[in-house]
Amino acid sequence: MKSLLPIVFATIAAVGNAMFALGQKKSVDAENGLLFVSLSALVAVLIALFFAPLVGVLDIGNTVKENWKALLLSGFGLFFTYLGFNLLYSRYGVTQYVLYAVISIISTTIIVGVFWLKEPVNVYHKAAIALAIMAVVLFSIGQSKA
């Protein structure tokens, strides 16, 4: 069960990402993509606040006091994620997701996980990262042939 939970959690995130991508692509007619992103983020905030008591104590003041730097960092990160997704999906389509996925693997897994947080990686992780990079190369070649 221990190895199954990460797959379940990743699946939840993947389904959410697919819903987000579809919403972003459907927002192509929105007059202001950044306003659309803001309002969709507001919906996410409201839903998260509704469910927050199910996973722990709802102490907003203490959470802000003890984590304000991480909150700012995460907030800016979400903004750039939403902005990048909106620009990518509304202008190029959701098939471009593979670029985001692999660049995210590099930036998150390698830079944040391995170099910054010193999380362990083994030969299988390294092989997966190499294959992910190859996927971007192959995708780029395929895009130039289309």
109 or 52, which is more confident: 52
pTM of the full predicted structure?
0.76
In sequence order, the 6+-apart residues with CB closer than 8 A to the CB of 140 are none
21 has a pLDDT exceeding 90? no
For the residues 6-23, what does the mean pLDDT come to? 87
Q: Give the mean pLDDT of 120-144.
A: 86
Model confidence pLDDT, tens digit, residues 55-107: 999 999 999 999 999 999 999 999 998 888 888 888 888 778 778 887 888 88
Q: Please report the pLDDT score of residue 86 as a whole number.
A: 84
- Domain ranges in the chain are 1-92, 94-146
pLDDT band at 119 (very low <50, low <70, confident <90, very high): very high
